[in-house]
Amino acid sequence: MKKTNVMEQKNVTGKLRTNVRSPLRYSIGFRFIGFVMLAVAIAGAGVSLVVLSTSREHLRQQALNDNLNQANLAAAFASNYIEVIEAHVEVFARRPDVRQGVLNGTLEELQTTLAQFVQIQAPLNGVGVYDTNGIQLTYSLANSATIGQSFSDRNWFQGVMATGKSYLGIPILSKANNIPVETYAVPILDEQGQIRAVLSAGISLQKLSDALVNIGFTSDTEGRLVDLRDGGLIIADKDPLLLLTQVTGNNQAISSLMAGNSGSLEITDSAGKQVLTGFSPVAGLPWGIIVVTPSNTALAIINTLTQRASIYAGLIVILSGIFGVFLVLGIIRPLSRLVQDTREIGNGNMDVKLGPMGKDEIGNLSRSFGEMVVKLKTTMVSRDDLIKEVAERKQAEEALIASEARYRRFFEAARDGILILDVETGTVVDVNPFMVELLGFSREEFLNKKIWELGFFKDIIANQNHFEELKRNKYVTYENMPLETASGQRIQVEFVSYCYEVGNHQVIQCNIRNITERKRLEREKEKFTQELAEKNTELERFTYTVSHDLKSPLVTVKTFLGYLKHDIAAADPPLIEKDMFFMNSAADKMGKLLEELLEMSRVGRIANLPVKVTFDELVEDTLSITAGRIEEKGVQVRLHKEPVTLFGDRTRLVEIWQNLVENAVKFMGDQPAPQIDIGVEWRENGTVFFVRDNGIGIEPRYQSKLFNLFEKINPKTEGTGMGLAITKRIVELYQGKIWVESKGPGEGTCFFFTLPGALKDKESGV
Amino acid sequence: MKGEAIVILVVEDDPAHVEIIRRNFEASRLANRLISVEDGQAALDYLNRKGQYNDETKFPMPNLILLDLRLPKVDGLEVLRIIKLDPAVNKIPVVILTTSAAEADMVKAYEHHANSFLIKPVDFSQFSKLMDTFGYYWVAWNQYPHEA
C-alpha cells in the first residue's frame, strides 16, 4: 500500500514538471533573442543614414568649389574680352583722322571711318560721335534717324562729361535684336586737352553671354553676368526674360560680390530654390560672375540614395515596432491579467475565474496560482460565514438598543399619561412622568399596586371585574371620564387601553389624556358661535326693520301728496283735511323714528366716564325723572333697597330702569291699585335686578318679540317700539341679559336683567 | 262669481296705507268689499271666527287676503304660514303687499306658498297704477273656488 502511494506521488510530480517546461518557441528567452535582433537591425539602418548624410555634405562642398572655379575662370574671360574691345575703341578715338574729322567738322568722312571701324570690330554694334551738348553728330550707320537727336541724358555721356575720362555705361537691351549692349564712351580732346566731343561704341554682349551661360560641367549649371552698379543688373543669362532685370531677393552672393569678394555659398534664390553658387568679380569692370547649380541637381545621386535608405530604415523600424508590440503584449497581457486577478482575490473575491493561460512560463505561474486560490477558497468560506453571523448579531443588538431608547424617550416625553400593567396580576409595571404630573401622585404610589386599588381610577376600573373586561376586549376607549387628582381637582380624561404581547408575556397599556381644557374650549366655542349667530340675526333684523319702518311713512307721505293735488283740484275740504292728517302723522312718525335710531346708535358709542354708583342712587335718579308719569297714573313704587355698588356710565344705567318703569306705567291698563316693585335678587349665577308691575301682562307667545326694534305688541299704543330695544342694548353693553316673565294677560309683568360688567371690582369702563 | 262682491281682507297696521288701498279700490269702482284688520293676531282670529269676528254676515270669509309683513303681535310671515297650513283657509289666495324689498322676505314668503308678492311703490302714480292693475287682475279676472 505504501509503495503504491509513493508511485502516485511520483506520477503527480512528473505531470507537474511537463507542465512547467514549455516549448522553445514560447519561452521568454527566445523572445529576448528576437529583441536583440531587432535592435541590431535598427542600429544598422541608423548607421547607413549617418554615412549617407556625411557623403552628401562632401558632395555639396565639391559642387560649391567647382562653381567657384568656374566663376573665377569666367570672370577672367569676361575681363579680357571687354578690355580688348575697350583698347580698340580708345585707340580708334585717338586716331588723328577721327580727331581731325571732329575738330574740323568733316562729318561725312567721319561717318565712313566709323562704318569701317564697326565692320572690322565684330562685337561692335555701332559707333557714334556727339558734341559736348550730347547732340549726335554722326553715326556708323549712314543716314541714321538718330543724327541730331540729343543723348545728353545717357549715363555714359554724363559719365564722360563729369570725369573727362572714358566711361563704361550701364548695359541696355538693343532695340533692334533684343540683346544686351554695353556702351563704352571715350572723350575726344583738342590740343589743349579740352573735350570737344564724345565717341561712344555699342558693344554687343551676345558672344560673351553665350560663352558664360553654358559654363560648367552639368547641364544644370549656368553662369550669370551681373552689373553690380545700382543693386545689380543681370546682363547675361540663359533666360532672355531675366536680361537687364534687377537682381531680386536677399542675395548673399551678390552682396559679397559687391564687396569685391569671390567665394561659394548655398543660398535660396528668388524662386525659393536651394542653389549652390560660386562667384567672382570681373577684374577692372563693375561686374561679377555667379555660377549657379540647383542643390537638388548637384546632390541628385546622394539624395536618391538617402531617400531609399530612409524608406528601408522606416520600414525596419515599423516592422520591428509591430513585432515588438506583439512580443511585449504576449508577456504583459497575461501578467497584468494575473495581477488583476490577484488583486480581486486579495479583495476577498474567491470566485475569480483566472484568465486564459498560455503555454509559457507565465501560463505556468497562472495555473499554479489558480490551484492555490482553490485551496484558499475552501478555507475562506467557513471564515466568511462566521464573520457574517457575528456582524448580523451585532447589528440586531444595536437595533434593539436604538429601538429601546426611542420608545423609552417617547414614553418619558409623551403628553399623555401612560400606565403599563401586567395582565396576569393587574399590577402597575411602569408609569410615565406625565401621568405622575397629571395626577399629582408619586411614581412609588403607582408601582406594584393593582390597578383597581388606585383610588383615582374608581370611576374607570372600580374592581377586578372591570380589569378582566379590559383583558378580554384587547382595546377599550372611554371618552370623557372623570378623574380626581391628588389635590382633589376633578378633571375630564379620555381613557384608552390596549392589550398586547411582549415576548411571551401579555401587558396592558393604558393611555390617559387630559381633555378638560379641550372640553372647556369646545363649550366656549359653542357659546361664541351661538352668540355670533344671534348677533347676526339681530343685525339682519335691524337693517330690515329700519328700511321697512322708515320707508313705510315715506310711502304714506308721497301717496297722500298725490291725493292732495287731486282733492285740491276737486275742491273737497274734508278730504283735503284727511290727506293732510295722514301726511302729518307719517312725517311725525318718521321724525320720531329717526330720533330714536340716533339715540340707539349713541348707546355704546357715546359714553360718559365710568363712575361708582350704588343701586339705591340709580333708582332715586330714575324715580325723579319718571315722577310725573307715576303720579299721573297714581302708581305706587316700592323700592327694595340692597347694598349693591355698580361701576359704569351713570346716565345709561339710569336709562335701563327709566325705560322699564315707563313701560310698566304705560301698560298698567285698568289696574285699580297700580304698583311697581324695584329690587335685586341673589341667584346662583349672580345678581339679578328686577322691575315688576301688576299691569296688563303679556302673553307668553309675544314675549320673544318684545325686545325687537320698533316692535309694538299693540299698534295703538304710543311710542315707536324702541324703548325696550334700547334697554336691551345697554344691558348687553355690560355683558348682561334681559328677559321678561309674565303669566299672561292681566297677570302683571316682571323684567329681569343682569349687569355683570358693571359689578366687576376692577375699574372697567364702558 | 260675477255680480257677487269679492271680499278682500287687508291685514295692515298703518291706517294711512289702509286708506290708500281703500281709495284706490273705490276709484276703480270694482264690485268688492274691503275689510281691514291691524295686526297678525287679529287676522288669524278673523279667519277662525274668534272673539268679535264670530258674526258671519258682518265678517264674511274673504276671497282674497292682502297681507303686510311687518305686523304687531304676530308677524306677517307667521300669519301666512298658519293660513297655508290650515286646510279650512289655505285655498284663499294671499297676496303679500309690503314696503320691504328684502330678498330674504320674498324667498320666505314664497316658501310659505304666498300667491303673489308686491312691493308698495314710494311714488303716488306708481302706487295707483299698481292698485288698478291689481284690482283688474284679482277682482275682474281671477277665478275663485266657491268653497273658499
ipTM: 0.85
Q: Which residues of B touch A703 (CB under 8 A)?
A: none
Residue B146 lies in a domain: no
Structure-derived torsion over alpha carbons of residues A76, A79, A84, A87, reported in degrees to the nearest 10 = -140
Helix or strand holding residue A410 (H, E): helix A361-413
Residue of chain A whose Cα is closest to the Cα of B37 = A715
Q: Which residues of B touch A539 (CB under 8 A)?
A: none
Residue of chain B whose Cα is closest to the Cα of A712 = B72
Longest dimension (CA), chain B: 39
- Please enumerate in sequence order all residues whose Cβ is within 8 A of that of A541, keeping only pairs 6 or more positions apart, or say none: A708, A709
Q: What share of chain B is helix, strand, coil (3-state, %, to 5)?
A: 40, 15, 40
Nearest Cβ partner for A556 among B16, B98, B100: B16
- B72 Cα to chain A: minimum distance (Å): 5
CB A313 within 8 A of CB A47: no
CA distance A423 to A474: 11
**pLDDT confidence bin for A215, thresholds 50/70/90:** low
Nearest partner of A708 among A509, A495, A548, A525, judged by Cα: A548
Nearest Cβ partner for B72 among A548, A561, A714: A714
Task: Count how many pairs of residues, chain A against chain B, have C-beta atoms within 8 Å.
Answer: 76
Which pLDDT score, from 0 to 100, does residue A716 have? 64
Nearest Cβ partner for B72 among A562, A578, A715: A715
Nearest Cβ partner for A551 among B23, B39, B99: B99
Residue B19 lies in a domain: yes
Residue B148 lies in a domain: no
Nearest partner of A715 among B35, B122, B70, B50, judged by Cα: B70
Looking at the 3D structure of chain B, how many domains does it have?
1
Nearest partner of A411 among A398, A399, A395, A429, judged by Cα: A429
| Alpha helices in chain B, H assignment, sequence order | 15-27, 40-47, 76-85, 103-111, 124-135
**Contact state of B69 with A548 under an 8 Å Cβ cutoff:** yes
**pLDDT confidence bin for A765, thresholds 50/70/90:** very low
Global pTM value: 0.43
- B26 Cα to chain A: minimum distance (Å): 13
A580 in B contact zone (CB under 8 Å):
no
**Contact state of A544 with B14 under an 8 Å Cβ cutoff:** no
Residue A34 has pLDDT above 70, yes or no: yes
CA distance A227 to A247: 10
Residue B27 lies in a domain: yes
The structural domains of chain A, ordered by start, are 27-298 (3.30.450.20), 414-514 (3.30.450.20), 521-601 (1.10.287.130), 607-759 (3.30.565.10)
**Contact state of B127 with A559 under an 8 Å Cβ cutoff:** yes
Residue B108 lies in a domain: yes
Least confident of A52-56, A280-284, A440-444, B28-32: B28-32
Burial class (CB in 10 A: 0-12, 13-18, 19+), B19: buried
Q: For the segment A288-326, what is each residue's pLDDT rounded down to a tens digit?
A: 888 888 887 777 777 888 888 888 888 888 888 888 788
Nearest Cβ partner for B100 among A544, A556, A561: A544
Q: For the segment A475-504, what is each residue's pLDDT rounded down to a tens digit?
A: 888 888 888 888 888 888 888 888 888 777
CB A276 within 8 A of CB A70: no
Residue of chain B whose Cα is closest to the Cα of A552 = B99
Nearest partner of B89 among B111, B61, B114, B67, judged by Cα: B61
Residue B56 lies in a domain: yes
- Residue with C-alpha cell 560641367? A217
Provide the grid cell at A32.
529576448
Mean pLDDT to the nearest integer, A439-456: 81
**Contact state of B125 with A561 under an 8 Å Cβ cutoff:** no
Structure-derived torsion over alpha carbons of residues A132, A135, A139, A143, reported in degrees to the nearest 10 = -150
Domain extent at residue B130: 6-141
**Contact state of A714 with B124 under an 8 Å Cβ cutoff:** no
Q: For the segment A675-725, what is each residue's pLDDT rounded down to a tens digit?
A: 999 999 988 888 999 999 998 888 887 877 788 766 766 666 666 677 888
Helices A723-733 and A573-602: crossing angle in degrees, nearest 10, is 10
Which pLDDT score, from 0 to 100, does residue A21 have? 47
Structure-derived torsion over alpha carbons of residues B74, B77, B79, B84, reported in degrees to the nearest 10 = -160
Which pLDDT score, from 0 to 100, does residue A25 have? 55
CA distance A748 to A692: 8
**pLDDT confidence bin for A49, thresholds 50/70/90:** confident
CB B135 within 8 A of CB B25: yes
- A605 Cα to chain B: minimum distance (Å): 28
Higher pLDDT pick, A55 / A377 = A55
**Contact state of B16 with A548 under an 8 Å Cβ cutoff:** no
Q: Is the dihedral of CA A629, A635, A636, A638 positive or negative?
A: negative
CA distance A496 to A621: 62
**Contact state of B124 with A551 under an 8 Å Cβ cutoff:** no
Answer left, alpha or beta for residue A379, where phi above 0 means left and psi between -120 and 50 means alpha. Answer: alpha
Provide the grid cell at A397.
443588538
Mutate to test the interface with A, among B11, B77, B100, B118 (most CBs of A within 10 A): B100
Question: SS3 of A175, please?
Answer: coil
Residue B54 lies in a domain: yes
Which residues on neighbouring strands pair with residue A612, listed in sequence order?
A647
Q: What share of chain A is helix, strand, coil (3-state, %, to 5)?
A: 55, 20, 25
**pLDDT confidence bin for A568, thresholds 50/70/90:** very high
Higher pLDDT pick, B133 / A534 = B133
A591 in B contact zone (CB under 8 Å):
no
Helix or strand holding residue A202 (H, E): strand A195-204
> Which CATH number goes with the domain that contains B91?
3.40.50.2300
Residue B104 lies in a domain: yes
How much of chain B, in percent, has pLDDT values that exceed 70?
A: 95
Which pLDDT score, from 0 to 100, does residue A302 have? 79
A572 in B contact zone (CB under 8 Å):
no
